[in-house]
Structure formats: C-alpha cells, structure tokens
Amino acid sequence: MERPVFRVPRSRAHETHRALRDEILAALEPILFDRVSEGAEVRRELERAFSAVVKQPFACAVHSGTVGLFLALRACGVGRGDEVITVANSDISTTGAISMCGAVPVLCDVLESDYTIDVERVEACITPRTRAILPVDLHGHPADVKRLRELADRFELKIVQDAALATGASDYQQPVGAFADAAVFSFAPIKPLGSVGSGAMVTTSDPEVAERLELLRGYGHAPVDKVEAPGYQNYLLEGYNVPLDPLQATLLKVKLPFLDTWTQKRRAIASAYAEGLRDSGAILPTFRPESNPTFRSYTVRVADQQACHEALRRAGIEAVLHYAPPITHYSVYNASGKECSLPGASDLPVTEMLAAELLSLPVTVELTDGDVQYVVDTLCTALGV
C-alpha cells in the first residue's frame, strides 16, 4: 500500500540531507571508493566525536538501539534469572532486550507529568533477583536518573538508560547518560539525530563496561594488542557481529555538529505548541526544573484520543499514537490470552491512563512557523475550541 503524503509529516530529514548534499557526498567518497579499512576508521571518528558531545569517555557504535540495549545489559552483567526494572510505555525493544539476556522485565509505573519512570515506586519493585534498572527517556524527556543512581548504589544495581529518543537532551546540567552505567542513543531515521537506517551508540564512563561492549560487538574477538601474533585469532567470549555500518556512521558524522542547533529548534517548536495549546483543553507535559528535554515529538493528553488522532491525520498531519496500548497488552506477553505474565503488570494505573490519552505531534526541525500553527489550529478545532 502506498504511504500517504502528509502536509505536516513526522520527518522532513530529506530536506536537511539536500542542504548538506555536498558535505555528505564528500564524506561518502572515501568510504565507497577507497580502502575498505576506511569504514572502521569513520566509525571510530564518530565514536570520539559523540563521546565529546555527551561528555562520556567511551562510546561504542552498534547496529541498532535494540542491539545497543541488549549489549549494554550484557556488559553490565545482566543474565539469566536476573530481574531488570523498567516501564511498560516504551517500544518492545526495551523489554525485549531484557528478555534476550535471559532476564525478566519487572514493570514500574510512570509519572503523569513527563511520562517517565516514577522514582518513588522503584524501590518497591526491587527483589533479591534485581540486577539493574532500565529507565526510558520517553519522547526525549529525561528520566530522573540522578535520583535513581542513589537508589541503585544503595542496592548495588546497574543502570542502563534508554536514551534512544533523547539525543541532545540534558538533566542536572549534564548530557543525558551522565548518571547511568551505560546509556543507549538511537540513530533510527525519525530520531533527534537520525541516519537513513538502523544505528545506535552506547556510552559509558566505566572502562570495564566499555571493554565488554567492544568484545560483545565484535564476535568476542580479543583486541589486536592481546593476540599472540599477527593474524592469530582468539575469542574471549561468545559475541556478535553488530557494529554500526560505515555508511550510516559517515552520514551521522556529517550531521553531528548540527545537533545542538537542531535541539534548540525542537525546543522552540515544543514551546510554540505549548503556547498555542495552553487553553485548548489538552493536558500538556510538564518537566522537572533540572530537566531540559529534546523532543522526538510533542506529546499531549487529550480526552478523545481516537477522534483527535483521526482529525489530525485527515488534515494531513502525521500525528502518532506511540506505545498505545502499553506492552502489557501485546500478545507476546499474554500467553493463551491470559493476563500479562510480567511482574508488576497489574499495577500500572498511570501507564494505562496515559496510553488512552497521549497524542504525539510532529517535531522535525524543518517545520515552519506556519506548519506548527496549522497543527495547533487543527487540534484546537478537534478539541472544540
């Protein structure tokens, strides 16, 4: 079926790529037509540049956000029989990565204000089997990982931060990821820093976690300086072959210097939505004073979610119902049609409420003031204002 063309789409990244055409083509030239080893070098250059942006000493570029979460959990020691506390209002990659480690996702409810994990409820989810906490920076809103850090340290737990939607965000005047043992940033096309395919970066300040990430990403092969002789192969563990491909790395390396400018534009669009919808009847997200989100989308609560969603789509606005229903309703977690089998699934009142109300509006840096006003006017009309 042919994809509809929207007047206000979720992404106009192709326009940005056209504006950067000369830089992109010049960067791709050696990757495509010089020595094959150039591909590995551009990946290392991207890792170094991204490390500087997020102020973390180690970065590991991998195939996708899902892979990044899985490797980060493995690198933090999560394995079979462990429990990892997370949320249900996220992509299945979050819980799926936990399950792929052989661990069990334990679900915690979230806040009405910014839709991130409710720190006050996390301690009640901890058991003797708990190994880690996996907060999600939903829609680019930073979870309060600094407060989670205090709890994690007290119970000797690891934190793997799902920052897939939050590249460019900050919290407590630090880039997101500063308080986690590992953080995962996605480069999928409609993310704040998007490629044209899959991709992700895992960052950490822990050299042991960084070393395990490198091993897991590259088949578990010993580093060159640790093999017995040139050409000799030795594997320290069973790993995977999941590096970020050099074409995506090249595009991202060209785009990365613009991240701060684009983040400010996303915040300006979100502010325009907030001002325009202030008296509309929609419930707007609110944020802790320490939190400085980026916005993959601007997500509001509306009483009649389905009607508003349909009205916007009919008007050519690519509004989206993200994470509705929550993962607790997915067939994969409901064997034989029974209730969700994951611990905590029956005690998520805020998650369930938000899933029935949240509506995500487009935030792509190429939107004009007229585009944003058109969205505001259309939604206000749908809300009867």
Q: How confident is the model at residue 1 (pLDDT cuts 50, 70, 90)?
A: low
Q: In the block, which residue shows the tokens 């969205």?
A: 375
Contact 211, 188 (CB under 8 A): no
**CATH hierarchy code of domain 13-108+115-257:** 3.40.640.10
pLDDT at position 229 is: 67
| pLDDT of 5 higher than 90 | no
Hey, what amino acid is at 160?
Answer: V
Alpha-carbon gap, residue 197 to 368, rounded angstroms: 26
Please, what is the average pLDDT of the chain? Answer: 95
The CA dihedral of 363, 141, 169, 161, to the nearest 10 degrees, is -130
Alpha-carbon gap, residue 119 to 343, rounded angstroms: 17
Q: What is the mean pLDDT of residues 257-284?
A: 98
Alpha-carbon gap, residue 136 to 161, rounded angstroms: 6
Alpha-carbon gap, residue 186 to 65, rounded angstroms: 5
Q: What is the SS3 assignment for 312?
A: helix
Q: pLDDT tens digits for 245-254?
A: 999 999 999 9
Which helix (H) or strand (E) segment holds residue 27: the answer is helix 21-33
Q: What is the mean pLDDT of residues 14-20?
A: 97
Q: If you write DSSP's letter for every residue of 64-93 in order, what string do you get?
A: -HHHHHHHHHHHTT--TT-EEEE-SSS-HH
Q: What is the mean pLDDT of residues 102-129?
A: 98
Say how many residues make up the chain: 385
Q: How confident is the model at residue 227 (pLDDT cuts 50, 70, 90)?
A: low
As a whole number of angstroms, the longest Cα–Cα distance in the chain is 74
| pLDDT of 286 higher than 70 | yes
- Does the domain spanning 258-382 belong to CATH 3.90.1150.10? yes
| pLDDT of 345 higher than 90 | yes
Backbone phi, psi, residue 272, to 5°: -65, -40
Q: How confident is the model at residue 172 (pLDDT cuts 50, 70, 90)?
A: very high
Domain map (residue ranges) of the chain? 13-108+115-257, 258-382
The CA dihedral of 258, 21, 19, 12, to the nearest 10 degrees, is -80
Alpha-carbon gap, residue 116 to 118, rounded angstroms: 6
pLDDT at position 226 is: 65
Query: Smallest Cα–Cα separation from 343: which of 89, 100, 72, 88?
Result: 88
pLDDT at position 272 is: 98
Q: pLDDT tens digits for 49-80?
A: 999 999 999 999 999 999 999 999 999 999 99
pLDDT at position 36 is: 67
Which helix (H) or strand (E) segment holds residue 107: the answer is strand 104-107
